[in-house]
Amino acid sequence: MKKVVLFSLLISPLVLFSQISFVKDTMQMQGDSVVITANRTERKLGNITVPVTIINAKQLQQTGSLRLTDILKEQPGLTISSGFGAGVQLQGLNPDYTIILINGEPLVGRTAGVLDLNRIALGNIKKIEIVKGPSSSLYGSEAMAGVINIITDASTTIPLQASLRYGTYQTVDAGINNAFSTKHVFYQGFYNYFNTNGYSIRPNSTSRVTTPITRFTLNQQLKVNLTENTNLSFGLRLTDEKIKNNISVNNGGATINSNGKENNSDQNINLTLNHRFSNALKTSFRGYFTEYNARQDLVTLSGDPYYDLLNHSFQRIENQTDWNFNKKLNILFGAGAVWEGVKSSRYDSENVRKKNSIQYGFTQLEWTPNDKLILIGGVRFDKNETYASAFSPKMSALYKINSKHKIKLSIGQGFKAPDFRQIYLDFTNAAAGSYSVFGTAQAQQVISTLMTLGQIGVLYDNYYQLKSLKPEYSNGVHLTWDYEPNSKNFFSLQFFRNDIRNLIQVQQVGAYTTGAQIFSYLNIGRAFTQGIEVEAKHKVSNNLFISGAYQYLLTGDKDQIEQIKSGKVYKRDVNGYSQILSLNDYVGLPNNSTHKVQLKFNYTNSVGFFANFRAMYRSSWAVNNTNGNEVFDNGDELAKGFVSLHTSIGKDYRNGISLQLGCDNISNYVDASNLPNLPGRTYFGTFKYQIFKNK
């Protein structure tokens, strides 16, 4: 690994200075009309049968987004969660139901089901594709809600691009892109350095600048044309993150200091062999390896040392073949195998790697009987070493009523296998009441041992229901109407519904003699999310564009709703008296807002000047159950709705220089308890320089 990185660092400067020339900026030629993620093969956006959102490089540049979190929080149907890092919820489903890919390969290293999006730098991203709805028929487990695929820029038209950004909290972001090409070899490299003094908006904090963060990202891509029809590509991505946790809080009038450090890193290597037998038949063999390492060393507020570690490795081999049988029928089929392992200090033994393997196969048929209709059907079979096998079917259709109206319908089944945490977790939080959470693999055995030691005070009925977990399943229906009356206006209306069964939930199964709670995991939940999404775009002139989006979302636990309807759930009124909870008081699943609104203004002109203004509104959402009835209702703790405002202006000069100024969270909205990832008002300035090739 070190030799590969050293070679990349040595060759990059030589490549840069040997390839200096000039060419027109390719920013306007990103090819974003082509979508890969939806069908696992290239298709024009106008012929995609499922809901897809595309974020291109121009949008990323002009908003000034640095990390994946920054741009996803501004997309319709997506919500950023704040627990265990910045995760993404898609159409009301938790972060662990959405798979995150880079160039089609999954990222690993989730904490409590959340993959922290701040790990991903955006400096060399060509586009981001977001597919909504169950996608397990192509991508397997974790794609129950949808797929987010980050596609890096592998173009070689810009030999050198360097950028430097400085902002609030002494934040520095520096990036370099370099590339070269010959008749048979293509190379592209990206380096990013990020450093900030950080910010802290924790309740009662006496210091605001308390979380220094340093991140380094390296991305290398190499492609070699072996023959006219065969090529070999190699990709390497490394990230390293160091965080200092310096906490200062006011506790009863006294200032208490605590400190510690975190080190998180991941390595991704992929190798792909592509061969085209003919214009109608091609195949790809892919190998992928990734490993995520995280270690946290802290001194708690009570002065006790604490450490936490996680190592997650993932290897996959896969073949995919695309066959254009004729002009009307395309067939895709593939197979692969996954080997996965995890070590964690929170499991029953941090020195023993927990392992799992999966073998899978998938196929998809695309039939275009005429110019107006496209039909797609697909299915995937996953044979999981630890869990029962799973079939994931899906059907979708696109009907072009005329040049102005399109209807899309997709119906699919997604699944999510239980993760290592839900099986092997053995965690007791001594700093928060000494509660324990045990995975299903050892819950009964550990609790039985504690009982013989006289440490168990009570066992609940849930304890006797503990057994091996089953995969979670969802049935999703998405209906979309796209209306484009003319070249200046576009309107889209989407209806969606997701029904989940075998929902895995944390449940209290007993208590210690001290009263501390004991939890484990059970397949006892049935949930749903449903709603509408509306998007509209208007071209005011050749320079000014206005776009807006609105989401109305309803979520709920079906079993809880049945109990409420039968009058079995109570709440406390303002005087502390119990009363029957009505269905109107029910607010659904936590961390979900009923209303989300977005409004964006974008201005660009022919001389390279651009300006934008973005406004986002999110209504209130449930965060803590304070009624004690295990149901989220309007008497529980709710986070307040809020508006966030953002703007940036800039100019691209013909000599390759670009300048940009911006301000995020203009209104300086802060919610320390519920939005720890949202800092106050932040300013930034960016300088970028590009060297172009000749035409």
Say which range, 4-13, 170-179, 210-219, 572-581, has the weakest mean pLDDT. 4-13
Q: Is 568's pLDDT higher than 60?
A: yes
Distance CA 601, CA 599 (A): 7
- Residue range 56-64: average pLDDT? 90
SS3 label, residue 316: strand
If pLDDT is split at 50, 70 and 90, which confidence band does 321 have?
Answer: very high
Distance CA 625, CA 265 (A): 35
Query: C-alpha angle 371/374/376, rounded to 5°?
Result: 160
Phi, psi of 16 (to 5 degrees): -60, -50
- pLDDT for the residue 15: 32
SS3 label, residue 11: helix
If pLDDT is split at 50, 70 and 90, which confidence band does 38 have?
Answer: confident
Of residues 568 and 21, more confidently modeled: 568
Distance CA 572, CA 567 (A): 14
Phi, psi of 123 (to 5 degrees): -65, -25
DSSP notation for 207-222? -S----EEEEEEEEEE
Q: 586: closest CA among 639, 640, 632?
A: 632
Helices assigned H by DSSP within 88-238:
136-139
Tell me the residue type at 609.
Answer: F
Neighbour count for residue 515 (Cβ, 10 Å): 11
Distance CA 680, CA 37 (A): 35
- Residue range 395-404: average pLDDT? 96
Phi, psi of 224 (to 5 degrees): -125, 125
Q: Is 400's pLDDT higher than 60?
A: yes
Tell me the residue type at 36.
Answer: I
Average pLDDT of the chain, as a whole number = 86
- Residue range 491-505: average pLDDT? 93
Q: Is 527's pLDDT higher than 50?
A: yes
The CB-side HSE value for 642 (13 A sphere, CA atoms) comes to 16
Distance CA 364, CA 377 (A): 6
Question: pLDDT for 253-273, tens place per residue?
Answer: 555 556 778 899 999 999 999
CA 654 from centre of chain: 36
Of residues 247 and 279, more confidently modeled: 279
- pLDDT for the residue 14: 32
What beta strand segments (E) does 26-97 contain?
A: 34-35, 43-44, 52-56, 78-81, 87-90
Q: Is 498's pLDDT higher than 60?
A: yes
623: left (phi over 0), alpha (psi -120 to 50) or beta: alpha
If pLDDT is split at 50, 70 and 90, which confidence band does 623 have?
Answer: confident
Distance CA 516, CA 584 (A): 33
Q: 387: closest CA among 472, 291, 317?
A: 472
Distance CA 122, CA 378 (A): 32
Query: C-alpha angle 209/210/211, rounded to 5°?
Result: 110
Q: Is 275's pLDDT higher than 70?
A: yes
Residues 6+ apart with CB under 8 A from 6: none
Q: Using DSSP bridges, classify how beta strands 472-486 and 489-512 pair: parallel, antiparallel or unpaired.
A: antiparallel
Report whether 683 contacts 167 (CB < 8 A): yes
Bridge partners (DSSP) listed for residue 44:
34
User: How long a stretch of residues is the chain?
Assistant: 695
- pLDDT for the residue 562: 93
Tell me the residue type at 9.
Answer: L
What is the percent of the chain where pLDDT is above 70? 90
478 exposed, middle or buried (CB, 10 Å; 0-12, 13-18, 19+)? buried
Distance CA 619, CA 594 (A): 6
Token digits for 358? 């999966």
Q: Is 210's pLDDT higher than 70?
A: no
CA 24 from centre of chain: 33
The CB-side HSE value for 605 (13 A sphere, CA atoms) comes to 7
- Residue range 484-508: average pLDDT? 93
Distance CA 237, CA 154 (A): 13
Distance CA 650, CA 393 (A): 47
Question: pLDDT for 634-677, tens place per residue?
Answer: 888 899 999 999 999 999 998 889 999 999 999 999 887 788 77
Provide the residue ranges of all domains of the chain, joining segments of one domain with +.
542-552+587-682
Question: pLDDT for 404-445, tens place per residue?
Answer: 999 999 999 998 989 888 989 888 876 566 789 999 988 988
Q: Is 357's pLDDT higher than 50?
A: yes
- pLDDT for the residue 22: 27
Distance CA 306, CA 247 (A): 15
Distance CA 53, CA 148 (A): 9
What beta strand segments (E) does 63-184 contain?
A: 78-81, 87-90, 98-102, 105-106, 125-132, 146-152, 160-167, 171-181
Cα dist. 474→142, 202, 413, 500 in Å? 11, 36, 6, 4
Q: Using DSSP bridges, classify how beta strands 435-438 and 517-539 pair: parallel, antiparallel or unpaired.
A: parallel
Cα dist. 258→207, 248, 263, 434 in Å? 12, 6, 17, 20
If pLDDT is split at 50, 70 and 90, which confidence band does 154 have?
Answer: confident
Distance CA 96, CA 408 (A): 26
- pLDDT for the residue 155: 75
Report whether 664 contacts 165 (CB < 8 A): no
- pLDDT for the residue 655: 85
Token digits for 156? 């070689």
What is the percent of the chain where pLDDT is above 90? 55
Q: 103: closest CA among 49, 50, 42, 37?
A: 37
